[in-house]
Structure 1
Amino acid sequence: MFIGIRVGGLVKMFKPYGPHLLCLLALHQVLCQDVDKQQIEGPLENKAFSVQEGLPSVPYLYKFTFEPPTVSLRLTGETDGIIQIRPDGVLYLNGSLDWETKKVHTLEIEGLNANGERVKGPFTVLIEVKDINDNPPQFDQQQYFGVVRQNSRPGKIFMYVTASDRDDPSTPHAQLSYSLRQHFPNPYHVMLFQINNVTGAISTTPAGAQYLDPTIVNVFILVVDVYDMAGQSVNAFNSHVDVNVTVLENLWKSPPPVKIKENSTEPHPISISRVQWNYPGVTYHILSEEMSPIKPPFMIDRNGTIYVTQPLDREQKDSYSLSIIVKDDDGDLQLSRAVTLNVTVEDINDNPPVCGKRLTKFEVQENEIVGNLIGVFSATDADQENTLNSRLQYQIVDQTPQIPTENMFRIESGTGTINLFSNALNKQIASNYSLKVKVTDPVFQTLCDVQINVIDINDQIPIFEKSDYGSVILPEDKQVGTVIMEIQATDTDEPFTGSSRIVYAVKAGDPNNSFSIQTDRKTNRGYVIINKTLDFETTPVYDLVINATNPEPLVAGIQYNSSSLTYLKVIVTDVDEPPVFLQPVYTVDKHENVTVGTFITTAGAYDPEGAQVRYALKNNDRNWLQIDPLNGTIYTVAPLDRETESTYLARIVATEQTRASQSSTAQLILHLKDVNDNPPYLVKDYVFFCHPLQGNERAKLEVSDPDESPYVARFSYSLMGGTEILDNWNLSKPDGLHMYISPKNLNLEAKVYDIPICINDRGRPPMEGVVHLKVNLCQCVEERCFVEPEGPRLPTVGMAIGILVAVLVVIGVILGIVFYHLKRKKATQQKVATANAVSPSELKNLT
């Protein structure tokens, strides 16, 4: 007798004794175990078992053992006609249990004597049914309908779909996952809707919030899938449903811009605009986008009407950007994105001109030429720029004193430019003049004060307090910007004027502008500063000649002399520096096929202190190069390959041969130029045709070449392998990187053919190679080669006879072909070239 147990969909047969019984017991522990993993047999007592639903039968669940006076067992309770017990005490199932029908079966078992009387028990037997994933999820509607407004906020839920699963909700079998497969139409080729995979909530994506427009598409059909097993298993069940979504117009829009005249005298508040939400029962709120402590002078009522609450002042603020949001009636939840109202405050002429300074001062030398510029007076107007409201006019209305004449100065009315209008300036008569300048706009006028000081003529030169400031010693690495010396000259002209102000400059001894001099405007003290990095090896000593001049020109007859000159010697001391490369980057182009030992370049570096320099290469990862450590010559020591690395980077290190051993680096960039050193090859060396052939078969073959253009511009192709290949196969329509292969002989047998093809890249020099294309003529299933199931198969008698007949037929065909070819060998050789192409043009392309 055999016992069958289903495992993973297969039924295993065992004899219930010997080693097969051990296998049965092991399978029993896998299929039917209680939580304590008890033995498969035992005395009468309370027991609990777990059984997977859907098993067709379980011939051995448990065996209850008993002793006299018990001679038989009786099983009662929720057996459902499936749970049975044999006379020998074996508890078994003669059918499948269903978790969805009953999750736990409660039974009683009793021991009976020979008279059928209970002598032991009753004992409780519980059989818990374990769920399997045998129910697909189901939507609660056959289709759904929803409505969404245009420009709805991304992620705002506008409807739900709901599905359920009859499997155990405490297991992944009933854990559902929703997904949106697609929607029709899809005019923008992006998903406009999205679904929460857990809740089934549907909302718009950011793209949907941007693109949904009922004037373009007003109805969408969404295909929604639901998977059990939380969507994480390839074995999950799924269902789908159509969701019809109607897009409605959005009334929530930004209102048009508003212009308001400043300083309005009308009664406030004044209605200026209105917004409207899609539904009633909401509240509107204004948020100012400006980070200002002043509350914006605007308000909005429950109807969405916007008011300005007070007169506006353009000079205080010329525009407002109001963000308007809508919330639910409780004012807690914001329903959508904000819309913006832009308010521009229009200008009126309500501001008088303002003097640029309380008192504007200019200077003029007493010998100034008539017509020369003295200065430009300026005023401002807070009204809007580049309008008539802020257009200013200037006029001198008073001059004090009015000597020697009353019109000593002139002001240009449109620009405020003040020029000398008389040559009668004399510091002894009047040392300064006070002008009243009237500044007007179309409505207002303002008087401003201008003072013009008549200054002494520049008839004194600066004189240095020292004619020689000696020397200063500096290391060559002294920081740029360091003050190395303070110098001082004096000028007895009128203080704080252009005649007495001193400008210092290095007149000689500094050809590279390594030093500069700054002047203190209050004290006329000069500060000599390092302007550029010093270099002992280039210039160890500077003999600086410094002069002092005035910004105002000297009067006629007065010249600068040696009193306005001083001397300063700067001695630069040496600091040990690392080697210096003649160039920071060495870029070289070489063909990849240069011979080993080819010269690449020579790196040049020197030590500023004159020490010997040795060279080395770093980051020479492929060890293609080597450098002479003494002279820096770089040459190849291995073959180069552009296809491996087209730009080879290495670092050149120069190290001074001193105790300090300081180093510097330069970059070597070696660009490898291509040569035609790689034959073409097939991107895919396998194709198939369905057998039997129909006559229209053709396969496209793609060719590639590691070399760069122009070598891959156009390939040539030819079949190899003799007449057997040429008679049965054809290459056609090559277009450089592609060609087509097709069978000529429609009676070819089903097998794999090895077809050699010669491909030439027509380079300089040309490279060609023979590639082997595998062509499988096979029986096809669903446009694919049929593959026999794995495993040994023994031929039947009929198959053996068929094989024998086929072998004899093949032998006969081969002998016939041999005799035929021997007879027509010469004629066949003359026609080979013509038979290789289907047309003269193709023959031409293949040569």
Structure 2
Amino acid sequence: MLIAALALVSLHTFAPRCSAANVKIGVPENYDGIFPWYLAKLHSLPVNYSDLVVSGDDEGIFGVDAQFLYALKPLDREKQPSYSLQVSFRASMQRQSFTVEVCVNDKNDNVPTFIEESMRGSVQLGLLKGIPFMQVEAVDRDDRNTAHADLRFSLMEQTPRIPSSQMFFIDSITGEVSLTEEGASTLDPEMCGRYKLSVMVKDMAGKANAFFTTGIVTVEVTGNTWASPDPVRLQENLPGPYPIPISQVKWSGSQAEYSLEGEFPEMLFTISREGVIYLNAPLDRETQDQFQISIVVERPDGREIAKPVELRVMVGDTNDNRPTFPQAQYHTVVKELAARGTEILTVQAADNDDPKTDNVRIFYRLVGQIPESPRALFRVDRDSGVISVQADSMEGTAPQYTLTITAEDAKGLNSSCTVVVTVQDENNNPPVFSHHEYGPFHIPEDASVGTTVTAVLARDADVRGGDSWQVEYHLESGNEEEVFTLVPDKQTNEVSLVLSKVLDFERESEYILVLSAQNPVALVRGRYGPASTATVSIYVDDVNEGPILSQSHYEVTVREGEEPGRVIATIRGYDPDSHPIRYSLQGDTKKYFSIGKYSGELKTVQALDREENSTYTMEVIAVDGRNSSLSASTLVTVQILDVNDNSPVLVGDYSWKYLCTPRWEDQALVLASRDSDGPQHGGRLNFSLRSDATVRRNWKLTPINDTHTNLSLNIPHLAPEVYTVPFTISDSSSPPRSTFINLPVTVCPCNVRGNCKVAAKQLQGMPTIQSAVGILLGTFAVIGTILVVVFMRLSYQNPKRPSQTSQERVPLKMSI
């Protein structure tokens, strides 16, 4: 009982718990312990019950003892995998029952076996690697849902081992046998027509402790009907009915499906399950003259069994295409003097039928001509399509003809085109003048350039508008200086003789021009004679002409301050009629200049000041001495060259400005200067302090640009006072001109905002109001005295000139 209890505890722990109504118990098969074998406690039984009955057990294996279900013998899962027991009992005066299911758990107690004792298969030549040709099958009586029945196959040995020891492969799970890559490429029934394969099957997924069984598989190597069929030749446009079978293939091995691949329209070719290939529509050789069809063989799962085979379909030609010209209309030219037989154009039609057959042989015919002619003018070669001249000459014919040419094949299929033939005029007539001499023509010497002298015409008998009719004119002689030019009119062939240069009677009073007329293309018959040349006589009439100046503009330079009366330029001119010329000035409003009436010499009347005006522009008028209405003019520009005659000056009022003490950083008085001279002398102005140790200790000058500088304290502190700062301003000339300046500068204490704080007591050195008024009155008195003295001296020097013009008054310059 102790051993049984231990077995019971083990089984009870192993068994799954079920609901109160149903109990499920799992037990192992082939139990070899002590019996009765207690399986599990039935918790659904009450403590007190009676009349217990177990049904569903025909063999009387199971029973119940004190609420425990037991078995009297071992269970075999392969014989019966489960038992459904109905347990009924009486309790509390009522009949009750519940179901107990006993599941027999599998043990690996069965060896796998092959289904067939003699396993045979056949492999077809041409089969691809990995494609199964047979399957080895085995069974295991153990539970298939467990590893006990999980079978694995392996290939143990191959006999014979030729041409390789690894010709075959077996899938370890499915048992499918296929060729290896080496086997697919070297399989040869003549070398070996039968192989024996030793195979093994193991359970437990092939583990080392698994049960196994071995067997022999016999593989026969067979030939195959899978090969490329013979090429097929089909005529285009077959009448049908469709589909038409054209070839057949056959895979001699296992079940196979076929499909077609290639460059052809969908459904043009199809293949049946039996491998019969059909044509489903008419073929057109001109669209495609042959087809290369790949035939694919596959297993039902879509895997290719063998390499595809090829079917070549060639399309035969029928005469179903008419010859056509590459263009509907052609244009060509024939010369009017072309000889009989001259080829003028070749027309070629094309036929899309097979060029290797007579279906493409083409014949040409001339079937129409517009306009018609009384004699045959053209012909076309029947075989080559060469169009040539049939007439002896094309002279006197229409300028253009339209020919209709047909191209026809042997079956009578045809098409046509038109050829437009233009009869080209040839230059067999030279142009001729109606007169041998033209003129004389009179033209005044002042005629403007572009004046037409005359127009002449040389007539040409060739066809109007063509190159043979066009006339080119040339002046052969008399126009060596190119005074005249020819202007042709291409529409009328008339030419105008036009003046291209100004005439001069005094130089040339008569022109005799030789004019020739020729065509732009060479003469093919005849030559140019005297009638193609004419003479044009032209007389130039004299006209009084105005003077001519040598320059339209004069540029003159004069240094300022030079003595008056110097000749600064000479205006030169001449009169074509040799008349004298008179010169005069216009625009010199201040009368600074004069010009010689007949010499044209331009002089200064008074000294010039560049600072007053640096440029003078005036006009010189040259007038014909006999006819004042004839004149010419030129502009004269006089540039005054600068000399260093002005000293630089200080510009601005600095009396209200100040500097703070103690010194404020970056505080300075900006001093400005100016020099009236030009940049050459007064471009850069230099400020320098007087050479005094105290001045240079207290003050500092810092240049800003060419005309401005900063004045600032050079020491941190300076006593509040009005200081006189002495410095010099010099220009950049050599030698320089300088101006000495004593500048009063106020230095005062400043508040935080930088404003000067003026104390109740005046700064030392600052003038009082009384002293300022006295200084001012004294200054006016001195100036007045000086003016009186100056005016008195002037009056004594010029006693006979009571008045002066504004131009002669010179402002008084004074330096203080």
Structure with greater Cα Rg: 2
The bucket for the TM-score relative to the shorter chain is: 0.3 to 0.5
TM-score, normalised via structure 2 length: 0.41
TM-score, normalised via structure 1 length: 0.39
